[in-house]
Amino acid sequence: MIELEPPVERAVLVGAPRLDEPPALVDEHLEELARLTDTAGAEVVGTVVQRLAAPHPALYIGQGKADQLREIAEGKDATLVVFDEDLTPAQGSALERRLGLRVMDRTELILDIFALRARTAEARLQVELAQLQYLRSRLKRMWTHLSRVQGGIGMRGPGETQIETDRRLIDRRIARLRDELDHIARSRDTRRKGRDDEFRVALVGYTNAGKSSVLRAMSGSDLFVEDRLFATLDSATRAVDLGDGYRALVTDTVGFIRKLPHGLVASFRATLEEVLEADLLAHVIDASAPGWEHQLEAVDEVLHEIGAAGQPTLLVFHKVDQLTHGEEDALRGRIADLFGAHVFTSVREPGGLAPLRAALRARVRARRPTVEIAVPVTDGRTLAEAYREAEVLDRRENGTEVVLTARVPVAMIGRWRAIPGVRVTERDAA
């Protein structure tokens, strides 16, 4: 039996909701922060909440609450304090001096998780870019060596401080990272153009909604799946058989989250272009999550930010196996009144993904024109290809030709017309 080492960090969480936020929503946000902290490898040992009309300019929370936070942290032997809100550099510094502990805000915590989870070279570049953009304005707080240089060969400048030197070095590194990511994006764009004839679906959704599980079950591929926030950061594209001769290229994208740092959205923009180029967005929603409506809104906000708000979208209410029959019936009735195209899915129930396959198959079918293909009876190769690549609706023979009525991929029409003896006539959809 493998024994895991205890977490290095012991964290106290701090929530500072608005006065008008419902208690249930406050609890939901703190629970999410606890899951983020756990994902980062720390143990949550306490929680402090203070409702605010407006953040305190110096400490974000009130001075009395800050003193209470210090007492709680000392009593719990805490080594870290994590705020659910974003702190200014001045607030972070003031809090660390007052508490005598390291303080992280929500953005810094998410960046740390992304750094931990990044596996491919591209993801690591994207995370480093976001981290540098975050650190650039926080050099005084984050780095301890940044005092004015007092001489030293090769270290002196015309009145320049070390912080200015480091900021310039960061700017150079940021420029280099952007160049490398642009090169990767151009390579991806070239590969994507080679798939223009394919129907492309992008799985989007809140982190841990089950996107990777859906793609793994539909494609049969061995994708990494874990019940933790941001288990996967790297997009993965797989060919998925939809039945009846139809298929789609389905891409699993990075999960979104409430208050996703803008720097991360910008850094992952090249990866998220898969969303902009998709023929359909399959928005995966954890139907068993108590606050799935807020998660849906958070994803919609990010989609709007990257310019994908107008994309054709299919809502995929996932994990329905975790609902009771009564809960599922109530949810189905409510969603039918509020939303457009949607399906209910589960990877644990037999046939649980059949509604999603059928919905995608209908989308692909609608894009295929209906044609008549007249093929010489001696051309068995073209006939076999037609049955393999198209959906044959009717067949008749006149002695010398086999005439098929079929829904076909657009790319096949030009190819078949170039074959001697083969006639292709487009007609209204059957």
Q: Is the domain of 361 the same as that of 253?
A: yes
- CA atoms of 31 and 283, how far apart (whole Å): 23
> In this structure, what is the dihedral angle of CA atoms 286, 288, 294, 300, given to the nearest 10 degrees?
20
Q: Take residue 191 and report the two structure tokens written for it.
A: 């590969």
Using DSSP, state whether 215 is helix, strand or coil: helix
- Domains held by the chain: number: 4
pLDDT tens, residue by residue, 390-410: 888 899 998 899 999 998 888
Last residue of a domain, one of 104, 138, 167: 104
Using DSSP, state whether 340 is helix, strand or coil: coil
How much is the pTM?
Answer: 0.76
The domain spanning residue 238 has which CATH number?
A: 3.40.50.300
Q: Take residue 220 and report the two structure tokens written for it.
A: 């049969």
Q: Is the domain of 291 the same as that of 224?
A: yes
- CA atoms of 218 and 206, how far apart (whole Å): 19
Q: Is the domain of 65 the same as that of 137?
A: no
Q: Is the domain of 229 the same as that of 321?
A: yes
Q: Is the domain of 218 the same as that of 181?
A: no
Please report the pLDDT score of residue 191 as a whole number: 67
pLDDT tens, residue by residue, 151-188: 444 444 444 566 777 888 888 998 998 888 888 878 77
Quick one: pLDDT band at residue 141, thresholds 50, 70, 90? low
pLDDT tens, residue by residue, 104-138: 999 889 888 888 877 778 778 888 888 888 888 77
Closest CA to 49 of 13, 102, 9: 13
147 has pLDDT over 60? no
86 has pLDDT over 50? yes
| φ, ψ (nearest 5 deg) of residue 146 | -90, 65
Half-sphere exposure of 419 (CA within 13 A, CB side): 20
Is residue 357 assigned to a domain? yes
CA 335 to mean position of chain CA atoms:
23
- CA atoms of 39 and 11, how far apart (whole Å): 12
CA 286 to mean position of chain CA atoms:
14
Please report the pLDDT score of residue 184 as a whole number: 81
β-pair partners for 375: 402
For 167, other C-beta atoms within 10 Å of its C-beta total 16
Tell me which residue range forms the domain holding 122: 118-191
Q: Which of 12-16, 267-271, 273-277 has the lowest mean pLDDT?
A: 267-271
- CA atoms of 410 and 170, how far apart (whole Å): 49
